[in-house]
Amino acid sequence: MCGRYASTKAPTDLAEEFTAVDAVTEKAGEERRPDYNVAPTRDVIAVVQRHPRDAEGNADPDTTERSLRLVRWGLVPFWAKDPSAGARMINARSETAAEKPAFRKALASRRCLLPADGWYEWQRRAATKDHKASKQPYFTHYADGSSLAMAGLWEFWRPKEGELLEKYPDGLVTATVLTTGAVGPLAQVHDRMPLVLPRDAWDAWLDPDTDAKADSVQAWLRPPSEQLVASLEIVPVSDRVNSVKNNSADLLTPLDPAQVEEPIQLDLLG
């Protein structure tokens, strides 16, 4: 699963990396602060591709535009009565998303990428007679510092009437992170991982006119290649990340393996 990640790069840098228009800074009019401990229900940056619309709201069917947008993490289905459902839908299993009422329409035409420096996952160890139960957080990221592109789905929700309409007059744009089976050493931390897409998958994944049933999309709804996983680095980090109140650069500082009880794959941690 993916329940916490880091997103510290400025939108202007992400726009260049993902060849997209920076609509985040354009709309906010101010610099976005780095987030070292992204938690569910926060606003996060997503890369989307849509047909541009004119002043009257008519879409241009002949062109698409890729842009960075702010979305709330935790998908709220369009049919939900209230936005509380989003807190339970921060992840969607890539194997079954096409079958789930909450995700299937989004998978068909509202796919996105969620840029991240890397994601946190906790390795759980059961209690034994010699050790008490523990959870060791690990941070997984590209060794070369480039951004991960986590596959996501986005949805638009708007209440029909009443107090919620007054509270959300423009509706909500929300998103979920797709997950898949963990590969290689990642499986030693957890059996699930975010669905990380390589650069050559981005065009087909983001194309709003390519149905999810197309081979060009289906090809990426599976665990990443061993080559992609080999480009990742897995490092143990402080359990300060456990609290969403902690949000500073030191959360990404690797722990010395000597500080970790039974660290995974020591060759990867050096």
Determine the Cα–Cα distance for residues 11 and 30; give it in Å rounded to an integer: 11
Phi, psi of 170 (to 5 degrees): -100, 5
Evaluated on CA atoms 165, 168, 169, 170, the torsion sign reads negative
The pLDDT score that the predictor gives to residue 166 is: 80
Per DSSP (E only), the strands in the chain are: 5-7, 21-22, 35-38, 43-50, 65-73, 91-93, 111-116, 118-125, 134-142, 148-157, 172-181, 192-194, 232-236
Phi, psi of 143 (to 5 degrees): -65, -25
Which helix or strand (DSSP H or E) is residue 106 part of?
Answer: helix 104-109
pTM: 0.92
CB count within 10 Å of CB 250 equals 11
Contact between residue 265 and residue 55 where contact means Cβ atoms under 8 Å apart: no
What is the set of active-site residues? 2, 121
The pLDDT score that the predictor gives to residue 21 is: 96
**Upper half-sphere CA count for residue 157 (Cβ side, 13 Å):** 26
Indicate the pairing of strand 148-157 with strand 111-116.
antiparallel
Determine the Cα–Cα distance for residues 112 and 215; give it in Å rounded to an integer: 18
The pLDDT score that the predictor gives to residue 228 is: 97
The pLDDT score that the predictor gives to residue 266 is: 39
Contact between residue 264 and residue 138 where contact means Cβ atoms under 8 Å apart: yes
Q: Which residues pair with 70 in a beta bridge?
A: 45
Collapsing DSSP states into helix, strand and coil, what is residue 236? Answer: strand
262: left (phi over 0), alpha (psi -120 to 50) or beta: left
What's the token pair of residue 68?
A: 């960075």
Q: Which residues pair with 173 in a beta bridge?
A: 156
Evaluated on CA atoms 252, 254, 260, 262, the torsion sign reads positive
Over the chain (270 residues), the average pLDDT of each successive run of 10 is: 92 97 82 94 97 86 94 96 92 97 96 98 77 85 97 94 83 97 94 97 96 95 96 95 96 88 53
The pLDDT score that the predictor gives to residue 269 is: 40
The pLDDT score that the predictor gives to residue 167 is: 86
Contact between residue 93 and residue 194 where contact means Cβ atoms under 8 Å apart: no
Determine the Cα–Cα distance for residues 44 and 250; give it in Å rounded to an integer: 21
